[in-house]
Chains A and B, each alone.
Chain A
Amino acid sequence: MKTPNNLSLSDSEERQSRFELRTLLETSRMLIESQDPDFVLNNLLLITMGKLLVPKGMILINQGSDHLYQISKIKGRNPLEEGEVIQIDFPEKKLDQSAFSGNEIPEITEKLGLGENSTFFNLRTSNHHLGFLCLGTKGTRQVLSEHELEFIESLTIISSVAIANSRMFQELRLINRKLDRKVHDLHTLLELSKDFNMMVDQDEIARTFKFAMLGQMLIRTFFFVLDENGEKSIVASSGLNDKPSQKEIQQMFELEDVFYCEEEHDCPFLDNNDIKLLIGLRFQNEKIGVVGVGAPANKENYSKEQVNFLQSLGNLALLTIQKTYLLEERIEKKRMEEELGLAKTIQQGLLPSPIPTIEGFDLAATNVSSYQVGGDFFDIVDTPDGGHLLAIADVTGKGVPASLLMANLQSMLHALAPIDISLSGATDSINDIIHTNTPDDKFITFFWGKISADGKQFEYVNAGHNNPMLFRKGEDKPIELEEGGLILGAMSTITPYKSSVVEFQSGDVLVFYTDGVTEAMSPDLDEEYESERLTKCLKANLDGSSEEIMNAVIDDIMAFSKGVQYDDITLMVLKVN
């Protein structure tokens, strides 16, 4: 309430107080709107110094620890420097006071070079001590008035809130940036996994991995060692001074999966190249890759998050490389299958087709090849004297080697057929050639015979082949054609092969077969077809044509094995009319 007699005084007081209010309002707006603590502090100091005409002042900011303060801002002549961190032991109770005179803590005041009648204003939020605004002696050397104290206190409260806010804002910005970085990391991983998916070249994968690492981690030194089937070598690198020896590579594989190179080790390569961190990469629990990285450009140590990222990216690259191995294997397998298919076609082409006819005989022959290329063979060749050679053979093993050997035999047969030499003599020669030209573990069971030009006789040599069976009317058991000698290729001919002759009779049925017939397996793999079943089946069908007999046997075998075939089945049936 104003009274008329002190009107002029109260008028000037009111003007003063309005001015202060406006300053307070403007300052507070400016401070609160600022998101920069540095700006806030600088203004707080300048405004208060200007307002109170104080030539010296500073702002101390508490450094988390109780007694360490940074001189955040300092104005006026003072030996202390801005940015300096000093230890100041403020009495505990001073931290709870909103303002106090420097005279109460003379030692500290002197240390800060503030002089007599200086004032300390506590910068604090409701639960946090931030620091002090320290104002030195006024130009007038007077103590601050109650009014001035109040005004500055108000300003410090507003400033404290502004500082706390801007700190929070900065913290948020930092968190945001960290989040951005995380998002970027994830994005990189995702993108690389897509990129890797399209790559089949290991060099390209390793190179991409390298560049992604360099860019993402901001590093210059990098290497990636890979264990490919026991051979460990560097597949990508950047910024290395030298290459590691095999011993050093081995040492790296033996270190921990995450190894900080400042720890003890005795791998000189790591020190020579300033490698800071090694990451071991595992595939199915086996360490097959090691990644080494130098210091990041910011010289900071690798954080746990960065290590995680390195591991993720490394594993991604490793998996992609593993994938290319599988792909290569698949391509290789496909290529082999194609080759086998080709070999099979060639092999089939070596067998006579169609089966020639021989006057006075009814002849049928077939080769049912299994999935793989087998070594079964049969042939029917005319001789210049009007006779006919019948041959059946089984080369040991399967696949391309077996079919090559078979092709060899086929060409020998055709070369020998026009020459007039004895069957046994020719067998001697074939054996010697095969023995000389093939490895010791390759043999051929071979049977051949010649139907004489008049069709009455059959001279044969059996070189270790399953005995062909001759069924004759009125005889219970078949005659087995067993005369001959050892299988072909086992040893050079020491004892000449013997031949034998059978006289044909009308109605004779001569059956040639390979072990694919008798060794056909039952579905449980516990039983073979065996010659008893074959004999029984043949006997039951002797009245049919040679083709009917042959088909009956094949059907019987297929029924026995439920159609599962492991070996070539070759069968030749000759019926004498």
Chain B
Amino acid sequence: MKNFSIATRQKQNVSILDIKGELDAHTASHLENALKSLIDEERYSIVVNCSGLDYIASAGLGVFMAYIEDVRSLGGDIKLTNMNDRVYNVFDLLGFPTLYDILEEEEEALQSFKN
């Protein structure tokens, strides 16, 4: 198994996914399942904390694309935080910052959900 893990935390009314390791074609389904189960539990305010994320491939980005509109149409959002530069560069190259809230710190994301 590849080095990838997801843990879910709850802070105030926001669900936080801590993703660690390499998010690629093989591990993308883990993220998909995690997002799906949050949506099933009607938890639509989602922060993905990427501080432990070492690498992301297109398939990993695709999972975010597949769920963002669903979550937004249900009144929530997916915000990404704490990316390292290399990971951010991939998001940036593909144009993600125009679509997603990508923030420096988890706290900022929590604040922005409050407002």
Is there an interface contact between B58 and A218, defined as CB atoms closer than 8 Å? Answer: no
Q: Which of A79-87, A177-185, A251-259, A503-511 contacts B (4 or more CB under 8 A)?
A: A177-185
* Shortest CB distance A29–B (Å): 31
Distance A36 CA – B41 CA, assembled complex (angstroms): 48
Q: Is B34's beta carbon under 8 Å from chain A? A: no
Q: Which residue of B lies closest to A211 (CB)?
A: B62
Indicate whether A219 reaches chain B with its CB closer than 8 angstroms: yes
Q: Would you give 12 A-B contacts (Cβ < 8 Å), ordered by A?
A: A191-B24, A195-B59, A208-B25, A211-B25, A211-B60, A211-B65, A214-B63, A215-B58, A215-B94, A218-B96, A219-B65, A238-B65
Other than the given A181-B93, A215-B58, A220-B69, 9 more pairs (CB < 8 A) read: A208-B59, A210-B62, A211-B25, A214-B65, A215-B57, A215-B59, A215-B62, A216-B94, A297-B98
Top 10 A-B pairs, shortest CB-CB distance: A215-B61, A211-B62, A214-B62, A215-B62, A214-B65, A215-B58, A195-B25, A211-B59, A216-B58, A208-B25
Contacts of A212 in B (CB 8 A): 25, 57-59, 62
* A99 interface residue per 8 A CB criterion: no
**B66 on the A face (CB < 8 A):** yes
A207 within 8 A of B: yes
Mostly, the A contact residues are helix
Give the chain A neighbours of B1 by CB distance below 8 A: none
B94: chain A residues within 8 A (beta carbon): 181, 184, 215-216, 218
Chain B residues near A198: list those with CB within 8 A.
26
Q: Are A238 and B61 in contact (CB under 8 A)?
A: no
CB distance from A191 to the nearest CB of B (A): 6
Q: Mark B55-79, 1 if CB is under 8 A from A, else 0.
A: 0011111111110110000000000
**Interface bits B14-28 vs A (CB < 8 Å: 1, else 0):** 000000000011101
B7 in the interface (beta carbon within 8 A): no
Count, chain B residues at interface, CB 8 A = 26
Write out the residue numbers on chain A whose beta carbons fall within 8 Å of the beta carbon of B69: 220, 239
A214 touching B61 in the complex, CB below 8 Å, given contacts A184-B94, A298-B95: yes
Q: From residue B44, how far is it (CB to closest CB) to chain A in Å? A: 17
How far, in whole Å, are A216 and B24 apart by their CA atoms in the complex?
Answer: 12
Q: How large is the interface on A (under 10, 10 to 19, 20 to 34, 35 or more residues)?
A: 20 to 34
Report which of B62, B93, B96 forms a contact with A177, defined as CB distance below 8 A: B93
Chain B residues contacting A213 (CB-CB under 8 Å) are 58, 62
- Asked if A188 lies at the interface with its beta carbon under 8 angstroms from chain B, I say yes
| Residues in B whose Cβ lies below 8 Å from that of A298 | 95, 98
Contacts of A261 in B (CB 8 A): none
Is A192 interfacial (CB-CB < 8 Å)? Answer: yes
Determine which of B59, B63, B93, B98 lies in contact with A180 in the assembled complex, contact meaning CB atoms within 8 Å: B93
Among B25, B57, B60, B61, the one with the most A-chain Cβ atoms within 10 Å of its Cβ is B25
Closest to B32 in A: A211
B37: which A residues are within 8 A, CB to CB?
none
A212, A219, A238: which has the most chain B beta carbons within 10 Å? A212
User: Assuming the A-B contacts A177-B93, A184-B94, are A218 and B29 also in contact, with contact meaning beta carbons closer than 8 angstroms in the complex?
Assistant: no
| CB of B89 to closest CB in A, whole Å | 8
Known contacts A195-B25, A195-B26, A211-B66: does B58 contact A188 (CB below 8 Å)?
Answer: yes
| Residues 190-205 of A at the B interface (beta carbon under 8 Å) | 191-192, 195-196, 198
Residues of A within 8 A of B63 (CB): 211, 214-215
Q: Across the interface, name the chain B residue whose C-beta is closest to A192.
A: B25
Which chain B residues lie closer than 8 Å to A297 at the CB level? 65, 95, 98-99
Nearest-neighbour CB distance to chain A for B60, whole angstroms, equals 7
CA distance A213 to B29 in the complex (A): 15
CA distance A208 to B32 in the complex (A): 11
> CA of A213 to CA of B63 in the docked complex: distance in angstroms?
10
Q: Decide: A215 and B26 in contact? CB cutoff 8 A.
A: no
Q: Is the CB of B65 within 8 A of A218?
A: yes
Contacting residues of chain A (213-228) with chain B, CB-CB under 8 angstroms:
213-216, 218-220
Q: Is B39 an interface residue (CB 8 A)?
A: no
Instruction: For A196, list chain B residues within 8 Å (CB).
Output: 25
B90 at the interface (CB under 8 A from A): yes
Which among A184, A191, A297 has the highest number of chain B CB atoms within 10 Å? A297
Query: Binary interface profile of B, 84-101, with partner A (CB < 8 Å = 1, else 0)?
Result: 000001100111101100
CB-contact partner of B29 in A184, A207, A238, A239, under 8 A: A207
Question: Is B93's CB under 8 angstroms from A220's CB?
Answer: no
Between B58, B60, B66, the greatest number of chain A beta carbons within 10 A of the residue's beta carbon is seen for B58
Would you give the shortest CB distance from A296 to chain B, in whole angstroms?
8
Given contacts A180-B93, A208-B59, A298-B95, contact A214 B24 (CB under 8 A): no
